[in-house]
Chains A and B, each alone.
Chain A
Amino acid sequence: MAKAKGAIVVDTVRCKGCGVCTTVCPTKVIELAAEVNGKGYHYAYMANPDACIGCSNCGIICPDTCITVYRAKAGATA
């Protein structure tokens, strides 16, 4: 299995479930949860965490700025 190079943390309370982040992820990491948050939105989560490359695309596009992005330093064992 591929080793993840990146990871995201979604503020699931703030997320409005718009799904825009899912369209910009080059490795199809993100999906909308079957469950809803307190506002009734299907929040985003890492459905495929091993595929994250830490590109930040999801973070920069999120209109509600609910995604924090981490990327392992090159050479570090993830």
Chain B
Amino acid sequence: MSKRRPYVRSMDGWWRRNPYFVEYMIHEGTALFVAAYAGILLAGLVRLAEGEAAWNAWLAALKNPWYVGFHLFALAALAYHSFTWFKIMPRTMPPVIVEGQRLPAWVITGGGLAAAVVASLILLGVVWGMVR
């Protein structure tokens, strides 16, 4: 009779076993802030549809220190999301061949981060231009 009895180890708490996994869970966790922020915007949009008084109440609520505090954390979380999104992009996207050479990872990550900075400045400029 076979004495084989392959032992399957538990996966409980796997994300604590390696710093690489801890970082993974943190960057996945930024999604909670993305969701909450989208929820706040959605609430604002509904208030907008309800009329001027409702909108102004929502706008006033944003001055509440709790909201300001949340947005500070959300800013950090979304910035970290941007950073990690472009950091893994060389692994997630198909190779880009330029003049027979594969584009190195740092060029892709750097290009993505640069695009984020440019897009953000354009957004700020457009907002500025629209209301001035």
Chain A complexes with chain B: no
Q: Give the interface of A toward B (CB within 8 A).
A: none
- B residues adjacent to A (C-beta < 8 A): none
